[in-house]
Amino acid sequence: MKTCQDESVSPKNTAVSVVGPAKIKNPIKFGRFVQDEDAVLVNISRRNVVGTGKGKKPELVFFEPAGPRDKIYYDTSKTKCAVVTCGGLCPGLNDVIRAIVMTAHHEYRVPSVLGIKFGLEGFIPEYGHDVVELTPEYASRIHEFGGTVLGSSRGPQDPEAIVDALERMNISILFMIGGDGTMRAASKVVAEISRRGLSIAVVGLPKTIDNDINFASPSFGFDTSVETAAMAIKGAHVEATGAPWGIGLVKVMGRDAGYIAAQSALSCQEVNFCLIPESSFDLKGENGFLAALERRMRHSGNAVIVVAEGAGQDLLKGSGKKDASGNLRLSDIAALLKEEILAHFKAQGIKPTLKYIDPSYIIRSVPANANDRIYCSFLGIHAVHAGMTGRTGLVISRWNGRYVHIPMALVTRGKKRINTCSNYWRAVLESTGQPVSMKNSKSK
């Protein structure tokens, strides 16, 4: 299976837009400025190099590196910034906000950074949400707490109304922190700004606990989420080994991609089954999940199962309903597994001890760990550098070990998923010992 990152990109769709030419000398006194000739290679394999047809010379493609430039677009003494957080919570949100505030104030001496409360709703007058003045004093300790000090919300808002609010507040640079839905909304805001001929820059910071944002490797908060999930899995393992026919069942987040489940399984080494959205399975039948679980139980007497929330949706009746962000509401795969496991063993006169743990909301609401805290700081810092140069319609990300500018159109082109033919997934299978496939031949 191909991942979104295997799709070819060309120099045309890696170019970053600007609101105008940068002519003002950068006031930063220390450090190296990024030069125009600097670049970060996009392509990491021959198969996605552009122009490899017969008679064509391979064309390497590059992302623009992040970092300060020697010339900026905005007059720092008159620049006003705004920050908004959208969608679900994720470890590191406050760290990103703090980095933006500190860089804007201490490096560029901007007079004001405003915090927009409760997501895109904060731009709409009818909701009546307050605006917060984000000073260094206000932001200095926020990284110690989970969640976002600005609050968040889901659901679309009118791009025209958002730009109206930006004009009323005299905002020069808007920093939008959110997932692919937020980046699509940001693209519409950029288009409306362009239609009006305004000089407002919009910089995105990609946020998703599922680690499924295209060209973000990884997304911030992912390391923390895996670390927190691992604690729950270790608890499930203790429960499973402490009772006859003990089974630990842990559900983690992962709507379309099973990265948290897979990475947690590799981290713990105690997981026996890792179920993800990218790899479908049958429950019953000689090659199905229940048969594999029974073989494990008869051999070892216990088992730990980690399931991503989006796994096995084909086994459930969908609700057909959508949430405020437009995502289909998932059915509860963990509830089905629990019911089917107990029924399967009951039919054989066996009463297993099954402990079900769902740490999902704990995972996404804890403060960031050390690695994510550093990562978030760099993302916020580079977002300010990009915005001050007048760059717009871009996302700050890390690619091939470097921080880069990626056009929003690339980020929103698709979602990143686990390639089940990759060495990464093979490592998960080797760690868990689960079958390569839990599909019966007739359903393959």
Catalytic residues: 210
Taking a C-beta distance cutoff of 8 angstroms, is the pair 35, 64 a contact? no
In whole angstroms, give the CA distance from residue 241 to residue 119: 44
pLDDT at 56: 61
pLDDT at 7 over 60: no
pLDDT at 305 over 60: yes
Report the Cα 71 to chain-centroid distance in Å.
31
Check residues 401 and 3 and name the one with the higher pLDDT.
401
Average pLDDT over residues 97-108: 98
pLDDT tens figures, 345-357:
999 999 999 999 9
pLDDT at 270 over 90: yes
pLDDT at 77 over 50: yes
pLDDT at 320: 62
Which of 3.40.50.460, 3.30.360.10, 3.40.50.300, 1.20.1740.10 would CATH assign to domain 223-365+421-443?
3.40.50.460
For residue 9, give the nearest of 321, 406, 325, 318 by alpha carbon. Answer: 406
Tell me whether domains 4-219+368-411 and 223-365+421-443 share a fold. yes
pLDDT at 9 over 90: no
SS (H, E, C) the chain: CCCHHHCCCCHHHHCCEECCCCCEECCCCCCCCCCCCCCEECCCCHHHCECCCCCCCCECCEEEECCCCCEECCCHHHCEEEEEECCCCCCCHHHHHHHHHHHHHHHCCCCEEEEECCHHHHHCHHHCCCEEECCHHHHCCHHHCCCCCCCCCCCCCCHHHHHHHHHHHCCCEEEEEECHHHHHHHHHHHHHHHHHCCCCEEEEEECCCCCCECCCCCCCCHHHHHHHHHHHHHHHHHHHHCCCCEEEEEEECCCCCCHHHHHHHHHHCCCCEEECCCCCCCCCCCCCHHHHHHHHHHHHCEEEEEEECCCCHHHCCCCCCECCCCCECCCCHHHHHHHHHHHHHHCCCCCCEEEEECCHHHHHHCCCCHHHHHHHHHHHHHHHHHHHCCEECEEEEEECCEEEEEEHHHHCCCECCCCCCCHHHHHHHHHHCCCCCCCCHHHC
In whole angstroms, give the CA distance from residue 83 to residue 61: 31
For residue 435, give the nearest of 315, 293, 263 by alpha carbon. Answer: 293
Give me the residue spans of the domains in the chain.
Answer: 4-219+368-411, 223-365+421-443
Average pLDDT over residues 125-149: 96
pLDDT, the chain, mean: 91
pLDDT tens figures, 12-22:
788 999 999 99
- Cα angle 30, 32, 35; round to 5: 145
Among the listed ranges 53-57, 254-258, 298-302, which one has the minimum average pLDDT value?
A: 53-57
In whole angstroms, give the CA distance from residue 276 to residue 88: 20
Among the listed ranges 10-24, 247-261, 302-316, 323-337, which one has the minimum average pLDDT value?
A: 323-337
pLDDT at 385: 98
Average pLDDT over residues 110-134: 96
Among the listed ranges 142-146, 309-313, 322-326, which one has the minimum average pLDDT value?
A: 322-326
CA atoms within 13 A on the CB side of 208: 30
Is the pTM higher than 0.85? yes
pLDDT at 326: 62
pLDDT at 325: 59
In whole angstroms, give the CA distance from residue 357 to residue 264: 14
Surface-to-core class of residue 339, CB atoms within 10 Å of its CB (0-12 exposed, 13-18 middle, 19+ buried): exposed
Q: What is the largest CA-CA distance in the chain?
A: 79
Report the Cα 29 to chain-centroid distance in Å.
34
pLDDT band at 102 (very low <50, low <70, confident <90, very high): very high
pLDDT at 444 over 60: no
Which of 3.40.50.450, 3.40.50.620, 3.40.50.700, 3.40.50.150 would CATH assign to domain 4-219+368-411?
3.40.50.450
pLDDT at 180 over 90: no
pLDDT tens figures, 350-395:
999 999 999 988 999 999 999 999 999 999 999 999 999 999 999 9
pLDDT at 327 over 90: no
